[in-house]
Chains A and B, each alone.
Chain A
Amino acid sequence: MLEIPKAKSFARLAAQYDFSKLIECRKYSDNKNTEVVVVEVDVERPQRIRHPIRHKEILAIEFSRDDDRFPEVLALRKDFPLVPHLNLKPNEFPRSLCLYSEPFDEINLFWTPRLFLERIRNWLAKTSEGSLHERDQPLEPLLLETVGDVVVPPDLVSENLSDGYEFRDIATFRFNGRITLFLSPPPEQRRGKAIVIRLDGEAQPHGVIRHSPRNLYELHEFLRIADLDLLDVLRRALRAWAGDTTLKEVRDAILVIILMLPKSRVAGASVEVRDRWACMSASSIGEIGVSVGAYGEHGGHIVPLIDPDYEKNGSTVPIGVLHLHEELSHSVAAGLNGTMPRTEKMSLIGLGALGSQVFANFVRSGFGKWYLIDRDHMLPHNPARHAMPVQIGENKAKVMAYFGEAVIPNQGTTEAIDADILRPGALREEIVGALRGSTVVVDCSASVAVARHIARDLENGPRGISIFLNPTGADLIVLAEPNDRSVRLDHLEMQYYRLILKTPELGGHFRHPEGQFRYSLGCRDISSVVSQDLICINAGIASRVARQLLERENGAIIVFSVNPKELVVCRHDGRVYETVEVAIGGWIVSIDSGLANKILGLRATRLPNETGGVLLGQFDTNRKLVYVVDTVLAPPDSIERPYMFVRGAEGLRQEIDRVYDGTGGALQYIGEWHSHPSNTRCESSEDDRSLLAALSRHMTQDGHPAVMLTACDKELIQFSVQDGHADAIGSKVISFSV
Chain B
Amino acid sequence: MHKITFFPLGNADSYRIDLENGKKILIDYGAQGDPTDADDKRVDLPKLLKDDLEDTGRDYFDVVAFTHLDKDHVEGSSSFFYLEHAEKYQDEDRIKIKELWVPAAAIVEEGLKGEARIIRQEARHRLKEKKGIRVFSRPNRLKEWLEENDLTVGECESLITNAGETIPSWSLGKEGIEFFVHSPFSKKGDKGEEIDRNENSLVLHSTFRIEDQDTKFLMGADTTHEIWKEIVEITKHNSNESRLEWDISKISHHCSYLSLGPEKGEEETEPIEEIEWLIEEQGEKGCVMISTSRRIPDDDENNDPPHRQAANYHKRIAEEKDGSFLVTMEHPNTEKPEPLVVEIEKKGPKPLKRKVGAAAAIISRPAPRAGD
Contact = CB atoms under 8 A, between A and B. Distances in A.
Interface stretch (B47-55, B107-115, B158-166, B282-290): B282-290
B286 A47 contact: yes
A46 B347 contact: yes
B347 A49 contact: yes
B293 interface: no
Contacts of A45: 350
A44 B351 CA distance: 7
B261 interface: no
Interface string B206-238: 000000010100000000000000000000000
A52 B353 CA distance: 18
A18 B357 CA distance: 13
Contact of A44 (B213, B346, B354): B354
B144 interface: no
A47 B355 CA distance: 21
Given A18-B332, A47-B247, A54 B353 contact: no
Contacts of A54: 322
Interface in A43-71: 43-49, 52, 54-55
Contact of A47 (B287, B332, B333, B353): B287
Contact of B347 (A19, A52, A129): A129
Interface in A91-136: 121, 129
B339 interface: no
B355 A19 contact: yes
B347 A43 contact: no
A47 B354 contact: no
Given A54-B322, A55-B323, A55-B324, A48 B347 contact: yes
Contacts of B333: 18
B349 interface: yes
Contact of B332 (A19, A52, A121): A19
B350 A46 contact: yes
B352 A47 contact: no
Contacts of B284: 47
B274 interface: no
Contacts of B84: none
A200 interface: no
B214 to A, nearest CB: 11
Interface in B333-352: 333, 343, 345-352
A52 B247 CA distance: 17
A44 B355 CA distance: 12
Contact of A46 (B286, B332, B354, B355): B286
Task: Say whether chain B's binding surface is mostly helix, strand, loop, or mixed.
Answer: strand
Interface string A436-463: 0000000000000000000000000000
Interface string A553-569: 00000000000000000
A42 interface: yes
A129 B346 CA distance: 11
A411 B177 CA distance: 64
Residue among B247, B345, B347 with max Cβ neighbours from chain A (10 Å): B347
A45 B353 CA distance: 9
Contacts of A48: 213, 286, 346-348
A9 to B, nearest CB: 15
Query: Size range of the interface on B?
Result: 20 to 34
B348 A44 contact: no
Contacts of B346: 48
Given A47-B285, A47-B287, A55-B323, A18 B355 contact: yes
B344 to A, nearest CB: 9
Contacts of B213: 48
Contacts of A55: 322-324
A238 to B, nearest CB: 52
Contacts of B354: 44
Contacts of A43: 353
A55 B349 CA distance: 13
B251 to A, nearest CB: 17
A129 B299 CA distance: 38
Contacts of A129: 347
Interface in A9-56: 17-19, 42-49, 52, 54-55
B348 A42 contact: no
Nearest to B213: A48
Contacts of A17: 355
Interface in B285-330: 285-288, 322-324
Contacts of B343: 46
Contacts of B351: 44
Contact of A42 (B287, B347, B353): B353
Nearest to A19: B353
Nearest to A44: B353
Contacts of B286: 46-49
Nearest to B325: A55
A52 B286 CA distance: 10
A579 to B, nearest CB: 64
A42 B324 CA distance: 10
A228 B348 CA distance: 40
A46 B353 contact: no
Interface in B21-46: none
A130 to B, nearest CB: 9
B16 to A, nearest CB: 20
Contact of B345 (A42, A46, A52, A121): A46
A198 to B, nearest CB: 42
Contacts of B352: 44
Contact of B288 (A47, A49, A121): A47
Interface string A590-617: 0000000000000000000000000000
B94 to A, nearest CB: 35
B77 to A, nearest CB: 31
Nearest to B348: A47
A55 B346 CA distance: 18
Contacts of A18: 332-333, 353, 355
Contacts of A46: 286, 343, 345, 347-350
Interface in B90-120: none
A43 B350 CA distance: 10
A188 B348 CA distance: 66
A604 B347 CA distance: 77
Contacts of A44: 350-354
6 contacts: A18-B333, A19-B332, A48-B213, A48-B286, A48-B347, A49-B286
The 4 closest A-B pairs by CB, nearest first: A47-B348, A18-B332, A47-B286, A46-B347
Given A47-B286, A47-B348, A121-B353, 20 more contacts: A18-B332, A18-B353, A18-B355, A43-B353, A44-B350, A46-B345, A46-B348, A46-B349, A47-B215, A47-B284, A47-B285, A47-B288, A47-B323, A47-B350, A48-B286, A48-B347, A48-B348, A49-B347, A52-B322, A55-B322
